[in-house]
Structure 1
Amino acid sequence: MTSGSAVLATDPLTLADVEDRARAVLAPEVYDFVAGGSGGESTLNANRSAFDRCHLVPRVLSGVDTADTRTTLLGVPASMPVAVAPMAFHSLVHPDGEPAVSRAAAAAGVPFTAATLASCPLDELASAGGDLFLQLYWLRDRARTEWLIGEAERLGARALILTVDVPFMGRRLRDLRNGFAVPAHAAPVNLADGQRGGGQSVGGHAASVIDPTLSWSDVDRVRRRTRLPLVLKGVLDPADARRAVDLGVDGLVVSNHGGRQLDGAVPSLLALPAIRDEVGDACEVLLDSGVRSGTDVLRALALGASGVLLGRPVLWGLASGGEQGVTGVLELLRSELEVSMALAGAPNVAAAGWLGVRWGSGAYGREES
């Protein structure tokens, strides 16, 4: 097993390096919009602390030379257990926006999740040739919600990801201090005319378009409405996970919205094992919030995740290098994952799910039986 091809001295060696490059080229208020969390950012910081406290127990003498990172996510073949997370307003960080990210994801062999608040039409993103997921907010405009579901089906999307942790936006202090508003060029074009919010604050725009009354009966309605696999994003409580399974949901994303909603919420990685134990194999379980390396992906797999959604690092790659920058982020992550799996003695993704984990406190997570 080798560590990959030689790199130039100027090539980023970690996703943190990519973030540093993005920070250097972005306007400070745009960087803060992407990087920031809600409130005092305790959950934002706790997401990373949880990964740092999660220690893998490698298996030795396994004879693993090259680890196979290929898997399936929601029935879609993927080159690694990673999909691009839904994120709004890509055009804020680079003029090529979502199309560049969707093309890079297609080339890398990972699914791309188009956001309801994307600044590019869905049909253009579907034309990238890769596997498309659609993230859905429950809109006050029910006709537009129906239209988005219909477009996902018409365009061949492979899954519908309903975000359930945003009745309204968390109080994001960096944006408030900066007086940040979405510029017209990045406005969400998939909303109806008059609802796109150019020039509004993010929180104010969200309050005007997102319906805070989303409930389990609405989830049931969406489940009955679409033939697409349905995933709920933003689940942290095992009881909610069980109820989702009972309604026929196909997948869950264990997520605290990257620390951007309830400040003080449990880190996603800490919530993951109990949710996986609750639902077993009844549905797929993904994770987001805080993933910053291939080793982090392996940690999530060891704790029961089927894969992860990668968010901010994708935007850092886009900001610093456009489509090529996103390609570099995905290549770096896959290379790190391959090396970490081989060093841990996991020849494939299924084997990674049985690695032992020791927390910084000394308590064990999922272990090989």
Structure 2
Amino acid sequence: MYFVKKATLTLLGLILVLTLAACGGSSESSSSSNGESNSESSSSSGIQEMTIKISHVVAENTPKNKAAEAMAKHIEENSNGKIKVQVYPNGQLFDDKTEVKNLQANNVQFIMPDMSKMVGMNPAFNVPSLPFVFSTNEAAYKFWDGEKGQEILKSLKSEGIIGLRMWPNGPKQITNTKRPINSPDDLEGLKLRVQGGQVLASIFKNLNAGPLQLPFGQLYTALEQGTVDGQVNTFSNIATKKLGDVQKYITTNWGAARVDYALLTNQKFWNSLNEETKKVVQAGIDHGTKKARELAEKLNQEAFETIKKRGKMEIHELTPEERKVFQKALQPVYEEFKDEVGADVIKAAKAASAK
């Protein structure tokens, strides 16, 4: 009996040793496997595998969508296929009322809303609506790529959002059915549709016109029926919507306000990227930004040529002297919003236009 017990204990001891050895081997193997994975992650081929979603609310043939597609393609190609990027135009994923909340929830990783939609989080996003603040597209790019513009874009971190770059649509022009707009006096009494925002409304109140906010989808009918006399918009929007069919006059070189977009990302997503992955994504962002700016300028110029060829609107281009008259008339807007937008922000924006 003694020998049986001894043999049993010996056998149990042997099983325990073998079990521990096996566990040790398994642990070593697991550690080695993880080590290889981490090594790959920090090496030149250590790009994280993921799917990125980009959502916006405009059509496929717009500069915004084409730039988003260029950004997506650049990221996919330079990640060796490890990163998949899906672009959802036309509000297919989220509309303009829900896209910001879904970005905050990380249901989408990139959106590009009109900056006027972000003024509730930071009034400094009113900058594109300030009258004549940027003399050229290049001045707008200089501001948003510069210290103060980047400060505004990065100001949304408390909301779980990081602003990255400015993507443009361009300067707005004035159209109407009543008369040519050559001076501030010509706007008196006109009912004009505006996109929204207190700054743009203040511009026309200071010019004794009546601003009325209407969705873009209702604009053509409102002009056709005389609900409003005119509107302000970019060349591309005026041409693609064929507003010349219901508007007689257009004043160009206006530029008293702009349509610009903010490229935004989710903060948790951005912080989850390792250095190599972030480098690839950032390169895609830079590529998309360049494409957005090239296409916006090209499309607006082509749209202006289309408007001229159609010949349905009488065109008046403001001279530098005429613009100065408007600038003087709209100085009260700066005083009104100086504290809200920030005197330092306004100063930096104006400085971007200085030669």
Q: Same fold (TM over 0.5)?
A: no
TM-score, reference length from structure 1: 0.27
> Comparing both structures, which one devotes a greater share of its residues to helix?
2
TM-score, reference length from structure 2: 0.27
Could you say which structure has the larger radius of gyration? 2
